[in-house]
Amino acid sequence: MEVNRETAHRRMPLIVSGIFLGLGLGGFVDGILLHQILQWHHMLSNVRPLKTDSNIDLNMAWDGLFHAFDWILTVIGIALLWRAGSQEDVPWSPHTFVGSILMGAGLFNFVEGLIDHQILGIHHVKPGPHQLAWDLGFLLSGVLLIVVGWIMLQNSQDSSHVEMKH
C-alpha cells in the first residue's frame, strides 16, 4: 500500500527515532555478541593482535569507545522517541517502529562492515580461513535487515496505528 506524503511526513519522527535506536542496538549486538561473548574479534584486532598486554589494553579501550558510541546513538534514539511521543499527530505503528529499528540495525551492519572490515581492515567478523565469507555475510545481513525494515515501513498503514496516551 502506498503511503501518502502527509502520513509519511507525520511518521518521520517515529522512523528517525527507530533508525537511531536500531543503529545503537545493532552496535550493541555486534559488540556484546562478537567482541565479548564469542570473542571473535575486537576493534583493532587485525592491526593490533591480542598477543601482548599493551595490544589487549588498546583493543579493550577501543571496544569501550565503540560501546560508548553505541550508547550515544541509543540515547539519541530514546530522546527522539520521547520527542515523537509528545507530538499528537505522529501515528504510532508497531510496523513503522520495528521496521525503522531493523533499518537502523541493517545500516549499522552494512556501514560498519564496509568501513571496518573491507575499507580499513581493522578487524574481520571471524578471522581465519573463511573470513571473507563471514565479512560478506555480515554485509548481507545488513542489506537483509534494511530490506525487511523497508518492506515493513511500506506495509504499515496509518489506519492501523496504535495510539499512545500522552
Residue 32 has pLDDT above 90, yes or no: yes
Mean pLDDT value across the chain: 92
C-alpha cell at 52: 601482548
- Please state, for a pLDDT cut of 90, what percent of the chain lies above it: 87
Residue 162 has pLDDT above 70, yes or no: no
Half-sphere exposure of 63 (CA within 13 A, CB side): 24
Per-residue pLDDT at 164: 44
Q: Distance (Å, rounded) from C-alpha 163 to C-alpha 87?
A: 11
Q: What is the pTM of this model?
A: 0.89
Per-residue pLDDT at 9: 86
More confident residue, 69 or 161: 69
Is residue 92 within 8 Å of 14, Cβ to Cβ?
yes
Is residue 93 within 8 Å of 12, Cβ to Cβ?
no
161 pLDDT band, cuts 50/70/90, is: very low
